[in-house]
Amino acid sequence: MNYEIKLVVFLFLTSICFPQIEENPDKDFSKFFEVGRDIFTSPKNFNSNDWIKLGATTVITTSSFYFDNSIRNFTRENKTDFLNALLSIDDYYNLYSIALADAAILGYGAVSEDDDVKNLGLKLTEATVYSTLINYFIKFLSSRSRPFLDRGNTDFNPIQLGYDQTSFPSLHSTNTFAFSKVMADEIDNIYWKITWFTASSLVALARIYNDQHWFSDVILGAVIGYFVGEFISNHSTNKDEEPANPNSISKFNITFKFAF
């Protein structure tokens, strides 16, 4: 947990060192905090659709508790070499690799003076930092025991920060879904979107398969990440004036073309 907190601080400091669109870094600094302020105060501006989403999330997460034990038992009884290899994805697609990617994209955008890349880097950093803060807040309040402790899926001991007691919700799921949502929104191409959400879904599955999380942990974690990523992609400070080309990512000054 300490390493994860340090990474969030690192990302925050990185994000305010690279200007987004304007040459004045003070404006970029204020934009970063404007997004954060709007995320944490958004409930006061909820419309009927937002309340429906919140209600649905509550119902789905609560209902998923019923399946925690059966899904855990199923994954423990159906391990194979192929699944062991495939579901080691959580060792590679996680907060650490995401933090490096965020910093690399921000750095490349700053060095190349490419506004699109800088904007993407800042959005990804915002998604990572703010989704992590929300996740930690819930972890701290709930302090649920991880499944490998064999204490059952209802063992909650509020106000804990140790790894063993911070199962709910899954940080891997939150981070990867937030990152994937922002990346998926960058290009209007169905195969591009499927690739990103498949990767984040595999991470969520891996956390269950590797006995690090309950099913309900990854459900709430994924929902948090998805909606934080959506909020950031649609925030007024991050909106592109023109949609990306659906068949290329040349807007990032990369010449690779999709063969779809």
Both tokens assigned to 13: 């400091």
pLDDT, residue 153, reads 96
- For 193, other C-beta atoms within 10 Å of its C-beta total 17
Per-residue pLDDT reduced to its tens digit, 143-177 = 999 999 999 999 999 998 899 999 999 999 999 99
Q: What domains lie within the chain, and their CATH numbers?
A: 2-16+65-243 (1.20.144)
- Calculate mean pLDDT across residues 178-183: 98
Cβ atoms within 10 Å of 162's Cβ, excluding its own: 10
Q: In the structure, what pLDDT confidence band is assigned to residue 254 with cuts at 50, 70 and 90? A: very low
Chain-wide mean pLDDT for the chain?
85
Find out whether 117 and 244 touch, Cβ atoms under 8 Å. no
Please report, rounded to a whole number, the percentage of residues in the chain having pLDDT higher than 70. Answer: 81
Tens digit of pLDDT for each residue in 206-217?
A: 999 999 999 999
Both tokens assigned to 138: 């819930």
The string over 112-132, giving b where at least 16 C-beta atoms fall within 10 Å of a residue's C-beta and e elsewhere, is: eebebbbbbbbbbbbbbbbbb
pTM for the model: 0.85
| pLDDT tens by residue, 66-87 | 999 999 999 999 999 999 999 9
